[in-house]
């Protein structure tokens, strides 16, 4: 239970309904190999699949369900961006890593009167940044849902300096962006279902801040894949056990093509057809992605504590 990752190995870009094939002449094409996958499962004696992952993985789960394969989906992503579930498996463990890193970074920030910028993952959402930043005592939190004004960040830093707090912790989501600006793209992976990889906003922010506050040291750290591994948290261990047990219950009862959810401290389930691409009823969402509510409890709590979002 304590081991992160998957012993079955994994891919963040292979889609069996649109599988990349490279010919001997180097040309590329994309073909549907899902029927071959079903034949392979039959030969292996696999009766059903419990499929763990994010939106791309669960979309494939839905599509295999349409082909008659008994499947149950489990929401597993550190980004916590899937609709209709309060939390995804892996998110809490990642938050522990972020909080631990911020606890260490504040030491050098306070000792040297530095501005420390810490970039975290999250794709188009700010869940990791806001909850990790709150737990780690960040002074500024930047998330995609609230485009920031650089001047507001500068004002916060200068105010802390005037009050004798000559260090500032800034946590930024990888998808954060300035007002009127665009997100920082690290690379484009053409053969992936999610082609855009964000990254570098923290470094760009550091360069901009140096123009306004040249007299103060500024350092930038990107936690990157540190967030994606390590010892599984107690919460995720228990959540994983509950998800796993419930998945078997559904399969044995003949309830297929459903995704498990964690709502109001209970394990529930919904049809994958309802979950994938449908948005999240009653939640701040865009294109089926669960977003941080700019007027919700997390943001209002942070602002009440003096955290600046740059808006």
Helix (H, G, I), strand (E, B) or coil at 264: coil
* 3-class SS letters over 168-197: EEEEEECCCCECCCCCCEEEECCCCCCCEE
Q: Using alpha carbons only, what angle is made at residue 159 by residues 156 and 161, rounded to the nearest 5 degrees?
A: 110
What does the DSSP assignment read for 116-145?
Answer: EEEEE--TT--HHHHHHHHHTT-SEEEBTT
Helix (H, G, I), strand (E, B) or coil at 209: helix
Helix (H, G, I), strand (E, B) or coil at 221: strand
DSSP 223: -
The two structure tokens encoding residue 141: 């939190």
Using CB atoms within 10 Å of the CB of residue 73, give its burial: 0 to 12 exposed, 13 to 18 middle, 19+ buried: buried
- The catalytic position among 25, 47, 55, 79 is 79
Task: Please state, in angstroms and rounded to a whole number, the distance separating the CA atoms of residues 84 and 278.
Answer: 10
Please say if 79 is a catalytic residue: yes
Shortest CA distance to 290 belongs to which of 73, 178, 51, 130?
A: 130
What does the DSSP assignment read for 265-304?
Answer: TEEEEEEHHHHTTS--TTS-EETTEE---TTSHHHHHHHH
Reported as type and span, the H/E element at residue 20 is strand 19-22
Q: What residues contact 21, with CB distance under 8 A and at least 6 apart?
A: 28, 29, 30, 31
Catalytic residues: 79
């Amino acid at each position: 239970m304590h081991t992160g990752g998957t012993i079955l190995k994994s891919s963040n870009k292979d889609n069996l309904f649109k599988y990349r094939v490279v010919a001997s002449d180097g040309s590329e094409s994309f073909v549907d190999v899902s029927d071959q996958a079903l034949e392979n499962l039959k030969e292996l004696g696999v009766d059903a699949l419990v499929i763990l992952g994010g939106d791309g993985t669960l979309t494939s789960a839905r599509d295999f369900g349409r082909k008659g394969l008994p499947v149950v989906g489990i929401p597993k992503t550190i980004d916590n961006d899937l609709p209709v579930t309060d939390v995804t498996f892996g998110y809490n463990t990642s938050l522990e890593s972020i909080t631990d890193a911020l606890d260490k970074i504040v030491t050098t920030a306070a000792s040297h009167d530095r501005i420390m910028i810490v970039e975290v993952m999250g794709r188009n959402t700010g869940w990791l940044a806001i909850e990790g930043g709150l737990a780690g005592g960040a002074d500024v939190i930047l998330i995609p849902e609230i485009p920031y004004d650089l001047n507001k960040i500068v004002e916060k830093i200068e105010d802390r300096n005037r009050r004798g707090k000559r260090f500032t912790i800034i946590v930024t989501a990888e998808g954060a962006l300035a007002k009127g600006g665009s997100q920082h793209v690290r690379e484009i992976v053409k053969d992936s279902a999610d082609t855009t990889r964000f990254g570098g906003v923290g470094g760009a922010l550091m360069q901009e801040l140096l123009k306004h506050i040249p007299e103060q040291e500024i350092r930038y750290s990107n936690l990157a894949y540190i967030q994606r591994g390590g010892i599984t948290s107690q919460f995720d261990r228990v959540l994983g056990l509950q998800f796993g047990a419930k998945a078997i219950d559904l399969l044995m009862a003949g309830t297929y093509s459903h995704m498990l959810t964690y709502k109001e401290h209970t394990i529930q389930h919904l049809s994958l057809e309802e979950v994938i691409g449908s948005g999240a009823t009653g939640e701040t969402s865009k294109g089926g992605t669960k977003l941080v509510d700019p007027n919700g409890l997390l943001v209002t709590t942070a602002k009440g504590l003096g955290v600046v979002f740059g808006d």
